[in-house]
Structure 1
Amino acid sequence: MARPSLRVRADEAAEIMDSPLCDPAMLTRTYQDFRVVNAVVSGWRRIYRRSIRPALSTTTETTLLDVGSGGGDISRALARWATRDGLRLRVTGIDPDARAHGFATSQPHIAGLSFRRALSSDLVVEGARFDFVVSNHVLHHLGVDELKGLLVDSEQLARRHVLHADLERSNVAYLGFAAATRPFFRRSYIRPDGLTSIRRSYTAPELRAAVPAGWTVSRGLPSRLVLGWDRPDA
């Protein structure tokens, strides 16, 4: 397999599943497969334990917004983990894509979890507020101006903390994902779109250069970035 150059972010590359003309059955299987892939590579179990669970309570409800929630697997996981820990967390997942929203709402109900078809800017207009604002694999879809818009929205929506997690572009990430997924996911867009996602992703220095003061970029494994912000008066 010829590896494309990863020295420059491929922000012009398009993921197949983002096309309105992609195959509906393949798209559904992609949403289904995200639960498996994200459980392995996303690192959200670690993020939940370190950054979210310590702020939760058994008596007082904490609210969390998952921006660009897609098929809803991360939203569902966060709600499920909190419930298992006996903690009160209300999770709202938002995504503007009708197909993603349809899949997310078709899954079995979990207490404390809801989904809306909306943009973060829609919620800002409504005056909505959440203790946590998070996202998974959203940043690589955004150009620099769109990224800044999301961060402005996040600061207005979050009462306490923001955590945007994504891939970090690297040869190791690209070749590792290509090798690990070669035998699998032949009936979904996971492999081709995953490789495109890596090509579109920021490196840590690129992301630090693109975000305003007050935001931090931390690295994790495997080839992960977490863009964070804490409200100063929280």
Structure 2
Amino acid sequence: MDLPGCDPVRLDRTYAQFALVNRAVAGWRGIYLRQLRPRLSQRTPATLLDIGCGGGDVPVMLARWAALDGLRLGITAIDPDPRASRFAAERHAATGVTFRQATAAELASEGLSFDLVVSNHVLHHLAEDDLPAFLTESAGLCRGLVIHNDLRRSPAAYRLFFASSWPFTGSYIRQDGLTSIRRSYTTAELRAAAPPGWAVLRHAPFRNLLILDKGRAHA
């Protein structure tokens, strides 16, 4: 699905089906409740940046949960791929999330910063040499907490996805998902690759959270 010449209809179906997959197994409800919600307020506005938002379902979920809890949260979601940005902006036009076709480096060059920065399933797409720069950029854009949620490679995760992904026909979900699991980090590998100050937590199901708490570091 990352190839520029892939079938656009199949690609849009993939973005739509990713919303179902992320809602079921990406673990964002727990991340919101334990990591994000405690930093939000009913009185003071907070800002969140989602880097590499794809079809846009994760920032929309976060915005909806915050609104239901009466918390003030403004969300910007970026992706460098024009196809993803177009899909997200069109599909989620009425959600209040701001979608942009941009990179983290471009936002940094504009002098922007956010209280919270997150990403979903981005780390395994990066070449090993690109990880330090990506983490530096995401940290530079954040005043508080950075959370990168990614797949955790394991034989069990691969077997489970292989067995359960047959219903996702007409898209790149199955092919992309199996490739992504193979490319993802184990917990030990991610801890070895993470710069000082970053923490790696295991998160169910089959996820790693790479976290930088700048408030705690400053304290």
TM-score higher than 0.5: yes
Aligned to 2:169: 186
User: Aligned pair count?
Assistant: 217
Structure 2 residue matching 1:214: 3-state secondary structure:
coil
- Give, in angstroms, the shift of residue 40 of structure 1: 1.0
Structure 2 residue matching 1:160: 3-state secondary structure:
strand
Match of 1:155 among 132, 139, 152: 139
**1:66-98, Cα deviation, whole Å (9 max, x unpaired):** 000011000111111111111100010000000
Moved over 4 A (4+): none
- Give, in angstroms, the shift of residue 112 of structure 1: 3.8
Aligned to 1:92: 76
* Cα distance in structure 2, aligned partners of 1:146 and 1:115: 24
Aligned to 1:125: 109
| Higher RCO, Cα 8 Å, sep 6+ | 1
* Cα distance in structure 1, aligned partners of 2:95 and 2:22: 21
Whether the 8 Å CA contact 2:82–2:101 is kept in 1: the answer is yes
* Cα distance in structure 1, aligned partners of 2:29 and 2:206: 16
TM-score (norm 1): 0.90
2:187 maps to 1:204 = yes
For 1:227, give the aligned amino acid: L
Aligned to 1:233: 218
Match of 1:135 among 119, 139, 142: 119
* Cα distance in structure 1, aligned partners of 2:95 and 2:153: 36
- Give, in angstroms, the shift of residue 113 of structure 1: 1.1
For 2:173, give the aligned amino acid: I
* Cα distance in structure 1, aligned partners of 2:131 and 2:173: 24
**1:163-186, Cα deviation, whole Å (9 max, x unpaired):** 00000111000000000112x011
Structure 1 residue matching 2:218: 3-state secondary structure:
coil
Structure 2, gaps ≥5 residues long: none
Instruction: Name which of structure 1's ranges 106-115 and 187-196 shifts more when overlaid on structure 2.
Output: 106-115
TM-score (norm 2): 0.97
2:16 maps to 1:32 = yes
Percent identity reads 55
Superposition RMSD in Å = 1.0
1:64-83 superposed matches below 5 A: 64-83=48-67
- Give, in angstroms, the shift of residue 137 of structure 1: 0.2
